[in-house]
Protein backbone atom coordinates (compact mmCIF):
# COMPACT_ATOMS: atom_id res chain seq x y z
CA UNK A 1 0.00 0.00 0.00
CA UNK A 2 2.58 2.54 -1.05
CA UNK A 3 0.13 5.14 -2.27
CA UNK A 4 -2.63 6.60 -0.18
CA UNK A 5 -5.25 8.29 -2.28
CA UNK A 6 -7.75 8.09 0.53
CA UNK A 7 -10.14 10.93 -0.01
CA UNK A 8 -13.06 12.50 1.69
CA UNK A 9 -15.33 10.34 -0.42
CA UNK A 10 -13.77 7.19 0.99
CA UNK A 11 -14.32 8.39 4.52
CA UNK A 12 -17.91 9.30 3.75
CA UNK A 13 -18.50 5.94 2.19
CA UNK A 14 -17.17 4.06 5.19
CA UNK A 15 -19.13 6.25 7.59
CA UNK A 16 -22.24 5.86 5.49
CA UNK A 17 -22.79 9.57 4.95
CA UNK A 18 -22.51 12.05 2.14
CA UNK A 19 -19.09 13.62 1.50
CA UNK A 20 -20.50 16.99 2.42
CA UNK A 21 -21.48 15.70 5.80
CA UNK A 22 -18.09 14.16 6.28
CA UNK A 23 -16.48 17.46 5.41
CA UNK A 24 -18.59 19.23 8.00
CA UNK A 25 -17.75 16.66 10.64
CA UNK A 26 -14.05 16.91 9.96
CA UNK A 27 -13.81 20.67 10.15
CA UNK A 28 -13.94 22.14 13.62
CA UNK A 29 -15.89 25.23 12.63
CA UNK A 30 -18.67 23.27 11.01
CA UNK A 31 -18.69 20.25 13.26
CA UNK A 32 -21.52 21.65 15.33
CA UNK A 33 -23.72 21.53 12.27
CA UNK A 34 -23.72 17.79 12.42
CA UNK A 35 -25.13 15.40 14.98
CA UNK A 36 -22.63 14.20 17.51
CA UNK A 37 -23.32 10.63 16.64
CA UNK A 38 -22.57 10.94 12.94
CA UNK A 39 -19.63 13.18 13.69
CA UNK A 40 -18.09 10.42 15.75
CA UNK A 41 -18.75 7.91 13.03
CA UNK A 42 -17.02 10.10 10.50
CA UNK A 43 -14.10 10.74 12.81
CA UNK A 44 -13.72 7.04 13.43
CA UNK A 45 -13.81 6.30 9.73
CA UNK A 46 -11.23 8.98 9.06
CA UNK A 47 -8.97 7.56 11.74
CA UNK A 48 -9.34 4.04 10.44
CA UNK A 49 -8.48 5.03 6.90
CA UNK A 50 -5.77 7.38 8.12
CA UNK A 51 -7.42 10.10 6.15
CA UNK A 52 -5.40 13.23 5.58
CA UNK A 53 -7.17 16.06 3.83
CA UNK A 54 -5.63 17.14 0.56
CA UNK A 55 -4.34 20.59 1.32
CA UNK A 56 -4.04 21.43 -2.36
CA UNK A 57 -7.68 20.77 -3.10
CA UNK A 58 -8.68 22.63 0.01
CA UNK A 59 -6.58 25.60 -1.00
CA UNK A 60 -8.11 25.74 -4.42
CA UNK A 61 -11.57 25.74 -2.92
CA UNK A 62 -11.02 28.04 0.05
CA UNK A 63 -8.51 30.28 -1.71
CA UNK A 64 -6.25 30.07 1.27
CA UNK A 65 -3.05 28.10 1.06
CA UNK A 66 -2.11 28.27 4.73
CA UNK A 67 1.27 29.16 3.47
CA UNK A 68 3.44 32.20 4.13
CA UNK A 69 6.23 33.47 1.93
CA UNK A 70 9.40 34.52 3.73
CA UNK A 71 12.15 36.46 2.00
CA UNK A 72 15.57 36.40 3.64
CA UNK A 73 18.70 38.10 2.37
CA UNK A 74 20.86 35.08 3.15
CA UNK A 75 20.29 32.17 5.43
CA UNK A 76 24.04 31.84 5.85
CA UNK A 77 24.05 35.00 7.90
CA UNK A 78 23.71 33.58 11.43
CA UNK A 79 21.39 36.40 12.36
CA UNK A 80 18.56 34.98 10.33
CA UNK A 81 18.18 31.34 11.29
CA UNK A 82 16.94 32.19 14.78
CA UNK A 83 14.50 34.70 13.33
CA UNK A 84 13.25 32.16 10.86
CA UNK A 85 12.88 29.68 13.68
CA UNK A 86 10.81 32.09 15.73
CA UNK A 87 8.70 32.86 12.73
CA UNK A 88 8.20 29.31 11.53
CA UNK A 89 7.55 27.90 14.97
CA UNK A 90 4.84 30.41 15.64
CA UNK A 91 3.26 30.06 12.22
CA UNK A 92 3.33 26.30 12.49
CA UNK A 93 1.36 26.45 15.71
CA UNK A 94 -1.37 28.16 13.75
CA UNK A 95 -1.40 25.74 10.86
CA UNK A 96 0.75 27.69 8.47
CA UNK A 97 3.94 26.62 6.81
CA UNK A 98 6.68 28.97 5.71
CA UNK A 99 8.11 29.07 2.23
CA UNK A 100 11.61 30.43 2.65
CA UNK A 101 13.48 32.13 -0.14
CA UNK A 102 16.91 33.70 -0.29
CA UNK A 103 17.53 36.83 -2.28
CA UNK A 104 21.27 37.34 -1.75
CA UNK A 105 20.49 41.02 -1.82
CA UNK A 106 19.78 40.69 -5.51
CA UNK A 107 16.65 42.41 -6.81
CA UNK A 108 16.19 39.98 -9.67
CA UNK A 109 16.36 36.99 -7.41
CA UNK A 110 14.08 38.67 -4.93
CA UNK A 111 11.49 39.26 -7.57
CA UNK A 112 11.71 35.73 -8.92
CA UNK A 113 11.14 34.06 -5.58
CA UNK A 114 8.41 36.57 -4.83
CA UNK A 115 6.62 35.60 -8.02
CA UNK A 116 7.12 31.93 -7.25
CA UNK A 117 5.40 32.51 -3.96
CA UNK A 118 2.65 34.54 -5.47
CA UNK A 119 1.97 31.76 -7.96
CA UNK A 120 1.65 29.40 -5.03
CA UNK A 121 -0.90 31.74 -3.55
CA UNK A 122 0.78 32.35 -0.24
CA UNK A 123 -1.58 33.97 2.23
CA UNK A 124 0.95 36.56 3.28
CA UNK A 125 4.56 37.65 3.21
CA UNK A 126 7.23 38.27 5.76
CA UNK A 127 10.05 40.25 4.24
CA UNK A 128 13.44 40.58 5.88
CA UNK A 129 14.86 42.16 2.77
CA UNK A 130 13.19 45.56 2.80
CA UNK A 131 15.15 48.51 1.58
CA UNK A 132 14.02 51.99 2.48
CA UNK A 133 12.80 52.52 -1.05
CA UNK A 134 11.91 49.19 -2.50
CA UNK A 135 9.93 48.41 -5.61
CA UNK A 136 9.25 44.91 -4.39
CA UNK A 137 7.62 46.36 -1.31
CA UNK A 138 5.23 48.37 -3.43
CA UNK A 139 4.33 45.30 -5.43
CA UNK A 140 3.85 43.31 -2.28
CA UNK A 141 1.58 45.99 -0.89
CA UNK A 142 -0.56 45.67 -4.00
CA UNK A 143 -0.55 41.91 -4.02
CA UNK A 144 -3.74 41.80 -2.01
CA UNK A 145 -2.28 39.80 0.86
CA UNK A 146 -0.83 40.98 4.16
CA UNK A 147 2.83 41.92 4.32
CA UNK A 148 4.97 42.19 7.43
CA UNK A 149 8.52 43.48 7.64
CA UNK A 150 11.13 41.86 9.80
CA UNK A 151 14.45 43.20 11.02
CA UNK A 152 14.54 45.91 8.39
CA UNK A 153 11.69 48.36 8.07
CA UNK A 154 10.51 50.65 5.32
CA UNK A 155 10.97 54.41 5.02
CA UNK A 156 7.43 55.14 6.07
CA UNK A 157 5.50 53.18 8.64
CA UNK A 158 3.04 51.74 6.18
CA UNK A 159 3.84 48.12 7.00
CA UNK A 160 3.51 46.29 10.27
CA UNK A 161 7.11 45.68 11.20
CA UNK A 162 9.41 44.28 13.82
CA UNK A 163 12.87 45.55 14.42
CA UNK A 164 15.33 46.22 17.16
CA UNK A 165 15.52 49.73 18.56
CA UNK A 166 18.61 50.81 16.67
CA UNK A 167 18.82 54.25 18.22
CA UNK A 168 18.78 52.92 21.76
CA UNK A 169 21.31 50.26 20.88
CA UNK A 170 23.78 52.65 19.31
CA UNK A 171 23.43 55.01 22.23
CA UNK A 172 24.34 52.22 24.62
CA UNK A 173 27.44 51.47 22.58
CA UNK A 174 28.61 55.04 22.25
CA UNK A 175 27.99 55.74 25.93
CA UNK A 176 29.97 52.64 26.78
CA UNK A 177 32.91 53.72 24.66
CA UNK A 178 32.79 57.25 25.99
CA UNK A 179 32.71 55.94 29.54
CA UNK A 180 35.90 54.05 28.75
CA UNK A 181 37.53 57.31 27.81
CA UNK A 182 37.25 57.10 24.04
CA UNK A 183 36.81 60.38 22.22
CA UNK A 184 38.05 59.48 18.77
CA UNK A 185 35.57 56.93 17.54
CA UNK A 186 35.34 55.77 13.97
CA UNK A 187 32.28 54.30 12.33
CA UNK A 188 31.85 51.57 9.75
CA UNK A 189 28.35 52.34 8.59
CA UNK A 190 26.15 49.72 6.97
CA UNK A 191 24.34 50.23 3.68
CA UNK A 192 22.38 53.46 3.80
CA UNK A 193 19.52 52.17 1.71
CA UNK A 194 18.28 49.84 4.42
CA UNK A 195 16.80 50.96 7.70
CA UNK A 196 19.31 49.24 9.93
CA UNK A 197 22.24 50.81 8.14
CA UNK A 198 20.76 54.29 8.05
CA UNK A 199 19.24 54.35 11.52
CA UNK A 200 22.42 53.19 13.19
CA UNK A 201 24.55 55.65 11.32
CA UNK A 202 22.27 58.54 12.20
CA UNK A 203 22.07 57.40 15.79
CA UNK A 204 25.84 57.26 15.90
CA UNK A 205 26.21 60.83 14.73
CA UNK A 206 23.57 62.03 17.11
CA UNK A 207 24.99 60.16 20.09
CA UNK A 208 28.43 61.49 19.32
CA UNK A 209 27.09 65.01 19.03
CA UNK A 210 25.35 64.65 22.37
CA UNK A 211 28.65 63.60 23.87
CA UNK A 212 30.28 66.64 22.37
CA UNK A 213 32.49 64.58 20.10
CA UNK A 214 33.32 65.32 16.49
CA UNK A 215 33.05 62.80 13.69
CA UNK A 216 35.40 63.84 10.90
CA UNK A 217 34.72 62.30 7.51
CA UNK A 218 37.99 60.43 7.62
CA UNK A 219 36.60 58.35 10.44
CA UNK A 220 33.51 57.19 8.59
CA UNK A 221 33.37 54.48 5.94
CA UNK A 222 30.29 53.13 4.25
CA UNK A 223 29.95 49.44 3.62
CA UNK A 224 28.06 48.38 0.54
CA UNK A 225 26.76 45.30 2.31
CA UNK A 226 26.71 43.82 5.79
CA UNK A 227 29.52 41.43 5.01
CA UNK A 228 32.87 40.50 6.45
CA UNK A 229 34.58 41.57 3.24
CA UNK A 230 33.07 45.02 3.35
CA UNK A 231 33.95 45.38 7.02
CA UNK A 232 37.47 44.49 6.14
CA UNK A 233 37.63 46.97 3.31
CA UNK A 234 36.13 49.79 5.35
CA UNK A 235 38.38 49.18 8.32
CA UNK A 236 41.43 49.33 6.10
CA UNK A 237 40.15 52.55 4.64
CA UNK A 238 39.74 54.09 8.06
CA UNK A 239 43.09 52.86 9.29
CA UNK A 240 44.77 54.22 6.19
CA UNK A 241 43.14 57.63 6.32
CA UNK A 242 43.09 58.43 9.98
CA UNK A 243 45.73 58.22 12.62
CA UNK A 244 43.86 59.10 15.70
CA UNK A 245 40.89 56.82 16.36
CA UNK A 246 40.92 54.57 19.40
CA UNK A 247 37.66 52.78 18.78
CA UNK A 248 35.54 51.57 15.90
CA UNK A 249 31.76 51.20 15.95
CA UNK A 250 30.74 48.75 13.25
CA UNK A 251 27.24 48.73 11.77
CA UNK A 252 26.82 45.09 12.68
CA UNK A 253 28.75 42.08 13.85
CA UNK A 254 29.74 40.93 10.37
CA UNK A 255 31.36 44.28 9.71
CA UNK A 256 33.07 44.02 13.09
CA UNK A 257 34.51 40.67 12.12
CA UNK A 258 35.92 42.21 8.98
CA UNK A 259 37.36 44.95 11.16
CA UNK A 260 39.09 42.33 13.29
CA UNK A 261 40.82 41.02 10.19
CA UNK A 262 42.02 44.46 9.19
CA UNK A 263 43.38 45.09 12.68
CA UNK A 264 45.21 41.77 12.57
CA UNK A 265 46.80 42.68 9.28
CA UNK A 266 47.81 46.09 10.60
CA UNK A 267 49.32 44.38 13.64
CA UNK A 268 47.02 46.31 15.86
CA UNK A 269 45.69 44.68 18.98
CA UNK A 270 42.09 44.79 20.07
CA UNK A 271 41.29 46.21 22.55
CA UNK A 272 44.77 47.34 23.57
CA UNK A 273 45.23 49.55 20.51
CA UNK A 274 41.69 49.86 19.24
CA UNK A 275 38.36 48.91 20.74
CA UNK A 276 35.67 47.45 18.49
CA UNK A 277 31.91 47.18 18.95
CA UNK A 278 29.33 45.47 16.78
CA UNK A 279 25.59 45.10 16.64
CA UNK A 280 23.30 42.05 16.80
CA UNK A 281 25.14 39.68 19.10
CA UNK A 282 24.83 37.05 16.45
CA UNK A 283 25.42 33.40 17.32
CA UNK A 284 29.05 32.45 17.86
CA UNK A 285 30.22 36.06 17.96
CA UNK A 286 31.00 35.54 21.65
CA UNK A 287 33.63 32.99 20.73
CA UNK A 288 35.79 35.27 18.63
CA UNK A 289 39.13 36.52 19.74
CA UNK A 290 38.49 38.76 21.50
CA UNK A 291 34.81 38.15 22.23
CA UNK A 292 32.92 41.05 20.75
CA UNK A 293 31.21 43.77 22.73
CA UNK A 294 27.92 44.27 20.95
CA UNK A 295 24.19 44.87 21.18
CA UNK A 296 22.04 41.85 21.93
CA UNK A 297 18.37 41.25 21.37
CA UNK A 298 16.22 38.20 20.92
CA UNK A 299 16.35 37.24 17.28
CA UNK A 300 13.86 34.50 17.90
CA UNK A 301 11.43 37.05 19.35
CA UNK A 302 11.76 39.25 16.31
CA UNK A 303 10.60 36.34 14.20
CA UNK A 304 7.87 35.38 16.62
CA UNK A 305 6.55 38.93 16.75
CA UNK A 306 6.57 39.15 13.00
CA UNK A 307 4.51 35.98 12.91
CA UNK A 308 2.05 37.46 15.39
CA UNK A 309 1.64 40.61 13.36
CA UNK A 310 0.99 38.57 10.26
CA UNK A 311 -1.39 36.20 12.00
CA UNK A 312 -3.37 39.21 13.17
CA UNK A 313 -3.84 40.29 9.56
CA UNK A 314 -4.51 36.78 8.41
CA UNK A 315 -7.32 36.57 10.92
CA UNK A 316 -8.73 39.84 9.72
CA UNK A 317 -7.73 41.87 12.76
CA UNK A 318 -6.52 44.73 10.67
CA UNK A 319 -5.24 47.21 13.17
CA UNK A 320 -3.12 50.20 12.33
CA UNK A 321 0.23 49.13 10.94
CA UNK A 322 2.51 49.34 13.89
CA UNK A 323 6.21 48.94 14.32
CA UNK A 324 7.34 46.78 17.18
CA UNK A 325 10.78 47.58 18.51
CA UNK A 326 12.41 44.88 20.56
CA UNK A 327 14.67 45.94 23.37
CA UNK A 328 18.42 46.06 22.83
CA UNK A 329 20.91 45.18 25.54
CA UNK A 330 24.55 46.06 25.80
CA UNK A 331 26.79 43.03 26.13
CA UNK A 332 30.23 44.01 27.26
CA UNK A 333 32.93 41.56 26.29
CA UNK A 334 36.60 41.62 25.57
CA UNK A 335 36.75 43.84 22.50
CA UNK A 336 36.41 47.10 24.40
CA UNK A 337 38.86 48.55 26.88
CA UNK A 338 39.96 51.88 28.26
CA UNK A 339 41.21 54.37 25.77
CA UNK A 340 44.96 54.13 25.49
Residue 186: which of 311, 273, 264 has the closest Cα?
273
- The CA–CA distances, whole Å, from 103 to 47, 53, 152, 219, 288 equal 42, 33, 14, 31, 28
In the complex, the smallest distance separating the C-beta of residue 190 from a copy of itself, rounded to whole angstroms, is 19
Would you count residue 37 as binding DNA (CB under 7 A)? yes
Distance of CA 108 to the CA centre of its chain: 20
- Choose, by CB under 7 A, the member of 1, 2, 13, 24 that binds DNA: 24
Number of Cβ within 10 Å of residue 90's Cβ equals: 20
Site string for DNA, 60-89 (x = CB under 7 A): xxxx--------------------------
Does 33 engage in binding with DNA (CB under 7 A)?
Answer: yes
Select the residue interacting with a copy of itself from 97, 168, 211, 323 (CB under 8 A).
97
- The answer to whether residue 8 forms part of the interface with DNA (CB under 7 A) is yes
**Strand pairing report for 323-326 and 294-296:** unpaired
Binding residues for a copy of itself, rule CB under 8 A, total 49
- Site residues for a copy of itself, window 63-82 (CB under 8 A)? 65, 67, 75-76, 78, 81-82
CB of 193 to a copy of itself, least distance (A): 24
158 binds a copy of itself (CB under 8 A): no
Instruction: Determine the Cα–Cα distance for residues 16 and 77; give it in Å rounded to an integer.
Output: 55
Residue 37 touches which member of DNA, a copy of itself, none, C-beta under 5-8 Å by kind? DNA
The answer to whether the peptide bond before residue 191 is cis (omega within 30 degrees of 0) is no
- Please choose, from the candidates 228, 240, 330, 216, the residue with its C-alpha nearest in 3D space to the C-alpha of residue 277: 330
CB of 117 to a copy of itself, least distance (A): 8
Smallest CA-to-CA distance from 87 within 77, 104, 99, 73 is with 99
Nearest approach, Cβ of residue 3 and a copy of itself (Å): 4
State yes or no: cis peptide before 290, omega within 30 of 0: yes
Say whether residue 27 binds a copy of itself (CB under 8 A): no
Q: At what angle do helices 228-241 and 253-265 cross, to 10 degrees?
A: 50
Q: Does 120 bind DNA (CB under 7 A)?
A: no
Question: Cα(148)–Cα(126) distance, rounded to whole angstroms?
Answer: 5
Contact positions toward DNA, by CB under 7 A?
Answer: 5, 7-9, 16-21, 23-24, 26-27, 30, 33-35, 37-39, 51, 53-54, 57-58, 60-63
Contact positions toward a copy of itself, by CB under 8 A?
Answer: 1-4, 52-57, 59-60, 65, 67, 75-76, 78, 81-82, 84-85, 88-89, 92, 97-102, 113, 115-121, 142-144, 257, 260, 283-284, 287-290
Amino acid sequence: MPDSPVTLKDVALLAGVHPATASRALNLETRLLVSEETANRVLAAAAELEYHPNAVARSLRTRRSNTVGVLIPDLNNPLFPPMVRGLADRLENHGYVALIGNTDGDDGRGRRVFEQMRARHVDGYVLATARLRDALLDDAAHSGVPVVLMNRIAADDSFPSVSVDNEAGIRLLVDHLVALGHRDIACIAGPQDVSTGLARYRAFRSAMADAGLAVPDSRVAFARSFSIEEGHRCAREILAADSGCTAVAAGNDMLAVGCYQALDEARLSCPADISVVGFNDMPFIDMLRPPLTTIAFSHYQVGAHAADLLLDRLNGHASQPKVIYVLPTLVIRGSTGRSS
